[in-house]
Structure 1
C-alpha cells in the first residue's frame, strides 16, 4: 500500500517520506479500513516534531474516514463495506491514517452516516470527542448559558454545535474574521475578543447574570 511515514523527528518537509509499505492485516477485534481521507491534528504535528517514535517507521495522523474492507476474529462480517470515521488511530501505535489502509480496534471505527462525506468524518475524531467531554461536564444543559472561548476553533465549533443541540444557549468568542463560523455552529453571539470587553459583553448578553459555565479552548492564553 502507499503511505507517508517518518523515521526521525523534524519538520514535515525534512522527515516525511512517501512510498510503499506492507498492507496491514486486522488482528482479533480489529477492522481493516481503506482510508479515503486522513485528518491532521495539532497533536500529530507535535508528535512528528519531537515526541518519541512508536516504531522504526511512523505513519502519522490519528483521525480519518473510510470504508471497512476486512474484519478480524470476533468482529461481525456484516461490518464489511461500512462507512466509518476513525479516532486515535495512531495513539501509542506506529501506523496511523496517512496510508491507504489502517487496521485498528473495531470500536475506533464508528459508523458514518451516508449523508456525511468522508472529509467531514475525518475531522471528527479528537476534536469532536474532546468537545463532547467538555460539554458533558456541564450536564444537564437545558436552559443553561455557556461561554465558549475560541468558538470558531475545531474543538470550540463542535462544542458549540453539541451544546446547542442539547439545549444550551452559547455565547462564543472569535475574531471578527471567523465570527461567522461560530454563529453558524449555533452561537447566539460571537464576541470579538481582540476589540471587545468580553466580560462586559457577556454581562450585557445575560442581563447581568453571567454565564452558567465556561468551555475554554485556550486556557493558557486566556489566563495570560
Structure 2
C-alpha cells in the first residue's frame, strides 16, 4: 500500500512516500480503506520528536491520527462492522507508528464509528481530533446555562467547535481571535475579543464580573486566565500543563467512538459546523504540514488518500 512515512525525527524533509505491507487484521480489529485523513499540529510536532519522552516510535512511522474511509475487512469476533461500512475514527494508538496517511489503516473496532450518509468523508476525517478535544474540554468545564466562558483561540480548529458546544450548553461565550476572524465568531453567537497586548483588559470589558470558566487552546495565556476567572471558576488547557498548578486541568483527548458518533450526529443535523480550508493529495503531506506550521490555514487541512 502507498503510505507517507518518516524513518527518523525531523522536519518535513524527512517525509517520503513509500510502499508498505497492508496491515494484518486481528481479533476485534478492522481494516479501513482510507479515503480521507486530516492534518493536526500534533502530527508535525510528533514528527519532530515532541512526544518521544511519552510515546515509543516504531520506524518507519506513518503519521496521522484522523481518518475516514470504508471497512475493507474485519477481524474475528467483530460484529459491530462489516465490509463496506463507512467509518471515521480518531485513531491514536499507544505507539507512534501505523497512522492514517496511508491507503489502509488498521483500527481497534472500539475506536471507529459509522459516518451518517449525508456527512462527507472530508468532514468526517476533519472532525475526530479537533471535535473530541473540544467536547472533552467543554465537558470538563461542567458548564451550566447562564455561565460565561472564555475560549482562547476561538477561531481555530478546536476552539471554533468548542464555542459551538459551549453555546449549546446555554453559556455566554467570549472568544479570543484575530480581528479578521471576528465576524466568523459573531456568526455563531460568540463575543469576539482581539488577542495580543491588553487582552486581559478587553476580556474584563466584555465580562466585568469575571468569567465562570476558561478553555485554553493556544498556550501562553495563563496569566490572563487567572486574572479574569471568578473565585471557584474552572479552567482547562490543551497546551499548558502549568494549569494543573493553579487548580486547572490539562486535557488530553482519547479515542472515543461514542463521542465521535455524537459529534457526527450534530454535524448531520446542521447543529455543528467546521471549516475546511483545502485538500491535498497524499504525496503533498509535506506541503500540508508546511501550511499548518506557518499558521496559514483558515480551517482544517484534509488529505485525499486516494490521490
Name the CA distance, whole Å, in 2 between partners of 1:144 and 1:80: 45
Name the CA distance, whole Å, in 2 between partners of 1:172 and 1:56: 40
CA shift for structure 1 position 221: 4.3
CA shift for structure 1 position 27: 1.2
**Cα 1:9–1:92 shift into 2, 3 Å:** same
Name the CA distance, whole Å, in 1 between partners of 2:26 and 2:183: 45
Task: Give the number of the structure with larger relative contact order, counting CA–CA contacts within 8 Å between residues 6 or more apart.
Answer: 2
Contact 1:6 1:57 in 2 (8 A): yes
> Within the alignment, does 1:48 sit opposite 2:47 as a pair?
yes
Contact 1:147 1:172 in 2 (8 A): yes
Partner of 1:34: 33
Partner of 2:183: 180
Which is richer in strand?
A: 2
- Taking the TM superposition and a 5 Å limit, the aligned residue runs for 1:15-164 are 15-51=14-50, 52=52, 54-76=57-79, 78-164=81-167
Contact 1:157 1:181 in 2 (8 A): no
- TM-score, normalising length: structure 2: 0.65
Name the CA distance, whole Å, in 2 between partners of 1:220 and 1:79: 46
Contact 1:63 1:123 in 2 (8 A): yes
CA shift for structure 1 position 209: 2.5
Name the CA distance, whole Å, in 2 between partners of 1:120 and 1:83: 13
**Cα 1:183–1:117 shift into 2, 3 Å:** farther
Aligned length in residues: 220
Determine helix, strand or coil for the equivalent of 1:80: coil
**47-56 vs 118-127, which moves further:** 47-56
CA shift for structure 1 position 102: 0.3
Contact 2:67 2:91 in 1 (8 A): no
5+ long unaligned stretches in structure 1: none
Partner of 1:165: 168
Name the CA distance, whole Å, in 2 between partners of 1:69 and 1:50: 32
Name the CA distance, whole Å, in 1 between partners of 2:78 and 2:185: 39
5+ long unaligned stretches in structure 2: 225-307
Partner of 2:223: 223
Partner of 2:194: 192
CA shift for structure 1 position 104: 1.0
CA shift for structure 1 position 222: 4.7
Partner of 2:233: none
Q: Quote the RMSD (CA, aligned, Å).
A: 2.2
